[in-house]
């Protein structure tokens, strides 16, 4: 079956511009996560959705970052007034939630964002 | 102190030998522990997860957890060149949220 998909795969923008990154989770997965991975680092948590609501946005670095998931499926990560330090691979992951402890997160291929 | 610490490597292991990857974590409330493999330019994929103290085996992989020492490891037996990748240790502190805190990863190279 289809995995997590992310678009675009690459995004180059100029400092100060606005960007939107899209994530399409695995069908039926109610939990959705955004992570950011800089070169040589592990993924860093940004935000977690359970259904339509942001259950935990403690990882968003500042108010330039915002994410939505209006219908509980596709999510969009929005970055305003981009800075060179925002350059990274943005990873989306989804998970099927149940009463069980098996809680594998399936990652998408990522969007590589470059801010010039 | 970082929340999840790993030796960044690179770790070089001859083909057929055992590769040992280590990870320590700082939050004693951590409940679940994961090992992800990440090939260069690709996204992380889950290798193993472990919740309870002791060993958990899956094929050539064994995860070991010691909560008292706040230590988790991954052993790869009969290492193959295809095992060459970065291995990420990840931790979460409880159920119902499941956000992962990752280490920086250990780069493993299997030498033919």
**A64-93: pLDDT as tens digits:** 999 999 999 999 999 999 999 999 999 999
- The per-residue pLDDT for A100 is 58
- H/E stretch holding B87 reads strand B85-92
Restricting to B residues 30-69, those with a Cβ less than 8 Å away from any Cβ of A are: 32, 42-46, 49, 51
CB pair distance less than 8 Å for A42 and B98: no
- The per-residue pLDDT for A99 is 59
User: Distance (Å) from the C-alpha of residue A1 to the closest C-alpha of chain B?
Assistant: 16
- The per-residue pLDDT for A101 is 54
At residue B1 the predicted structure's pLDDT band, cuts being 50, 70 and 90, is: low
| B61-71 mean pLDDT | 96
**Residue carrying the six token digits 């180059």:** A12
Mean predicted lDDT score pLDDT of chain A:
93
With CA atoms as reference, the chain A residue closest to B92 would be: A103
CB pair distance less than 8 Å for A95 and B98: yes
SS3 for chain A is CCCCEEECCEEEECCCCCEEEEEECCCCCCEEEEEEECCCCCCEEEEEEECCEEEECCCCCCCCEEEECCCCCCEEEEECCCCHHHCEEEEEEEECCCCCCCCCCEECCCEEEEEC
Judging contacts by C-beta atoms under 8 Å, the chain B residues touching residue A45 are 99-101
| A32-49 mean pLDDT | 96
CB pair distance less than 8 Å for B43 and A103: no
At residue A37 the predicted structure's pLDDT band, cuts being 50, 70 and 90, is: very high
């Amino acid at each position: 079956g289809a995995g997590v998909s992310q678009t675009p795969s690459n995004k180059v923008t100029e400092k100060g511009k606005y960007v939107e990154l899209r994530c399409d989770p695995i069908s039926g997965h109610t939990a959705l996560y955004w992570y950011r991975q800089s070169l040589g680092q592990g993924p860093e948590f940004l935000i977690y959705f359970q259904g339509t609501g942001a259950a935990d946005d403690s990882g968003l670095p500042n108010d330039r970052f915002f994410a939505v998931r209006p219908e509980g499926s596709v999510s969009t990560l929005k970055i305003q007034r981009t800075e060179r330090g925002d350059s990274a691979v943005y990873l989306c992951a989804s998970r099927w939630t149940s009463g069980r402890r098996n809680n594998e997160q399936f990652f998408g291929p990522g969007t590589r964002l470059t801010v010039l | 102190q970082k929340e999840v610490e790993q030796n960044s490597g690179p770790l070089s292991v001859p083909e057929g030998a055992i590769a040992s990857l280590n990870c320590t974590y700082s939050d004693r409330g951590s409940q679940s522990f994961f090992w992800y493999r990440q090939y260069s330019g690709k996204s992380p994929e889950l290798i193993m997860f472990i919740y309870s103290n002791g060993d958990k085996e899956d094929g050539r992989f064994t995860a070991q957890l010691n909560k008292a020492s706040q230590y988790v490891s991954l052993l790869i037996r009969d290492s193959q060149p295809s095992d060459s990748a970065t291995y990420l240790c990840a931790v979460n502190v409880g159920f119902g949220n499941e956000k992962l805190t990752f280490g920086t990863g250990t780069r493993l190279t299997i030498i033919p």
